């Protein structure tokens, strides 16, 4: 069942049930007036209200308005061609996402994302299938590689590249650009340049006869069908140039987690292990009942993409403000730099999501390890917590907390 259908099927019952439970609880605790305050005679849109139930009935700890912290690729315009499609979440439809923009693209077997380049850097994660990527750097060094689900790539700003779907069913992937204003429609296409350059200039540039370009009048191919590429080794052999010194591909899912426990795992790709990148990322997995610990990122805003499962994120922005948001697959989340948050698996399935940053090094600060590594008496004076409790806190970070906590 798709996310859209699931949400629509459950929308009326979810919102109605939430309102009924809230009203019943208010009646029991505070009398008829409080119950009436929780009612919603309408008009209302149950489908929209069900997307994030915490907008209607927030947690008691929530306060203030942090703006929209969630958007979804399922709610944005999808640009289709006969060969494939793409949809984007940018600052235009997700205003808080100032530092990063995201694109979700599907390339079936043989479909090509046209040879192009752009100003921002491009970070990508393959969510389905296989594809072939190509690039050439400023030293005319080549790069051709095949990618599969769980792989990522990184193309620095200005580096020309392409993507093509391989068998059996092409690929789907997420792109993240280090500019929230960037649009997938704002790329420099090779066909577009040819169409706006006189043939005699092309002939002079390539040292061939102008008639060689008599049929080079294709416009804005963007995503189009082309012959399925052959053997990777053959494609690499066509160019005698050396390969780029730092490959633009990285197999993130194949990496050993930097943290692993029965509660979940974290894999990190940054400049320490993926030399080509200037954008850091983490692939986080959380078992049902587990939680990405209370933390913040001191160096960058955080762009999130939810691959599977159901999550609840609490965001603390200071000034007494705190909001809670629910996420499902295809949703995008955003947390500004140094803003505290946690992400909890509230569903029955494993939660998997991406964290992406504009800086080359991954960095986070754990609330628990901060408290454990300063004098206990100082923390106790602030929070009125027993020192014996503080002594039990882990001094190292625990990115995914245990599902069950004793004591």
pLDDT range class, residue 33, cuts 50, 70, 90: low
Q: Does 331 have pLDDT greater than 70?
A: yes
Instruction: Look at the block and give the residue holding tokens 């986080």.
Output: 284
**Lowest mean per-residue pLDDT among 215-224, 253-262, 280-289, 363-372:** 215-224
The pLDDT of residue 3 is 39
| Token pair of 259 as six digits | 């943290």
| Token pair of 172 as six digits | 């789907």
Give the residue ranges of the annotated binding site.
116, 118, 122, 161, 295, 297, 302, 341
CA 180 to chain centre: 13
Boundaries of every domain in the chain: 3-57
The pLDDT of residue 19 is 45
Of 177, 32, 179, 168, the residue nearest 109 (C-alpha): 168
Instruction: Look at the block and give the residue holding tokens 């995008």.
Output: 332
State the catalytic residue, choosing from 88, 344, 355, 361: 355
Give the residue ranges of the annotated binding site for Mn(2+).
116, 118, 122, 161, 295, 297, 302, 341
Q: What is the tens place of the pLDDT at every residue in 214-234?
A: 998 888 899 999 999 999 999
Helices within 38-137 (DSSP H only): 46-51, 53-56
pLDDT range class, residue 350, cuts 50, 70, 90: very high
Q: Is 355 a catalytic residue?
A: yes
Q: Does 173 have pLDDT greater than 80?
A: yes
Please state the pTM of the whole predicted model.
Answer: 0.90
- Cβ count near 11 (within 10 Å): 17
Which of the pair, 13 or 336, is modelled with greater confidence?
Answer: 336
Q: What is the tens place of the pLDDT at every residue in 49-99?
A: 888 888 888 899 999 999 999 999 999 999 999 999 999 999 999 999 999
């Amino acid at each position: 069942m798709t996310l859209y259908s699931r949400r629509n099927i459950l929308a009326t019952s979810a919102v109605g049930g939430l309102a009924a439970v809230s009203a019943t609880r208010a009646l029991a605790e505070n009398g008829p007036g409080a119950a009436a305050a929780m009612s919603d005679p309408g008009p209302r849109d149950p489908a929209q209200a069900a997307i994030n139930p915490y907008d209607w009935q927030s947690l008691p700890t929530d306060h203030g308005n942090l703006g929209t912290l969630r958007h979804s690729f399922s709610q944005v315009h999808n640009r289709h061609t006969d060969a494939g499609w793409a949809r984007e979440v940018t600052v235009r439809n997700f205003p808080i996402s100032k530092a990063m923009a995201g694109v979700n693209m599907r390339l079936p077997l043989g479909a090509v994302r046209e040879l192009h380049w752009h100003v921002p850097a491009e970070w990508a994660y393959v969510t389905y299938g296989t594809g072939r990527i190509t690039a050439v750097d400023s030293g005319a060094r080549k790069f051709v590689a095949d990618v599969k689900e769980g792989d990522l790539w990184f193309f620095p700003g200005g580096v020309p590249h392409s993507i093509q779907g391989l068998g059996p069913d092409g690929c789907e992937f997420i792109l993240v650009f280090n500019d929230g204003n960037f649009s997938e429609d704002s790329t420099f296409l090779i066909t577009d340049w040819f169409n706006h350059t006189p043939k005699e200039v092309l002939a002079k540039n390539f040292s061939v006869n102008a008639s060689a370009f008599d049929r080079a009048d294709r416009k804005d191919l963007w995503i189009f069908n082309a012959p399925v590429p052959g053997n990777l080794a053959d494609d690499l052999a066509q160019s005698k140039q050396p390969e780029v010194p730092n490959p633009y591909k990285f197999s993130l899912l194949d990496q050993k987690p930097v943290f692993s426990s029965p509660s979940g795992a974290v894999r990190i790709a940054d400049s320490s292990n993926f030399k080509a990148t200037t954008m850091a990322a983490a692939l986080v997995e959380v078992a049902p009942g587990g939680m990405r610990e209370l933390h913040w990122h001191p160096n960058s805003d955080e762009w999130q993409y939810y691959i599977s499962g159901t999550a609840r994120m609490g965001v603390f922005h200071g000034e007494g403000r705190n909001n809670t948001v629910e996420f499902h697959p295809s949703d995008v989340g955003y947390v500004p730099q140094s803003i505290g948050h946690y992400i909890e698996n509230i569903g029955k399935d494993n939660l998997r999501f991406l964290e992406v940053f504009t800086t080359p090094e991954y960095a986070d600060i754990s609330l628990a390890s901060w408290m454990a590594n300063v004098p206990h008496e100082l923390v106790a004076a602030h929070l009125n917590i027993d020192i014996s409790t503080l002594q039990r806190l882990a001094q190292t970070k625990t990115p995914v907390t245990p599902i069950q906590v004793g004591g």
